[in-house]
Amino acid sequence: MKIIFLDVDGVLNNDDTISTYGVFVGWEKKCVNRLNHIIRKTDAAIVISSSWRMHRSMNEIIHLFNAEMGICGTILGSTPIQNIEERGAEIGAWMKFFKKKTGRDIDRFVIIDDIDPLMFQDHWIETDTCIGLTNKQVEKAVCCLNGDRKKNPSLHLLDTPDPCEDLFMSVPSNQTEDDLIFDFD
41-79 pLDDT per residue, tens: 999 999 998 877 777 788 888 888 888 888 998 999 888
What pTM did the predictor assign?
0.80
User: Residue 145: pLDDT band by 50, 70, 90 thresholds?
Assistant: very high
Question: What is the sign of the dihedral through the CA atoms of 84, 86, 87 and 93?
Answer: negative
User: Residue 19: pLDDT band by 50, 70, 90 thresholds?
Assistant: low
For the segment 23-29, the average pLDDT, to the nearest whole number, is 75
Tell me which fold the domain 2-180 belongs to. Answer: Rossmann fold (3.40.50)
Is 160's pLDDT higher than 50?
no
Is 184's pLDDT higher than 60?
no
Domain extents in the chain: 2-180
CB under 8 Å to 162, separation ≥6 — which residues? none
Query: Exposed, middle or buried by CB within 10 Å (0-12, 13-18, 19+), for 161?
Result: exposed
Q: How far is CA 86 from CA 5, 57, 79, 99, 119, in A?
A: 13, 21, 11, 21, 8
For the segment 139-165, the average pLDDT, to the nearest whole number, is 62
Kindly state the helix (H) or strand (E) to which residue 4 belongs, with its residue range. strand 2-6
pLDDT of residue 140: 96
pLDDT of residue 67: 82
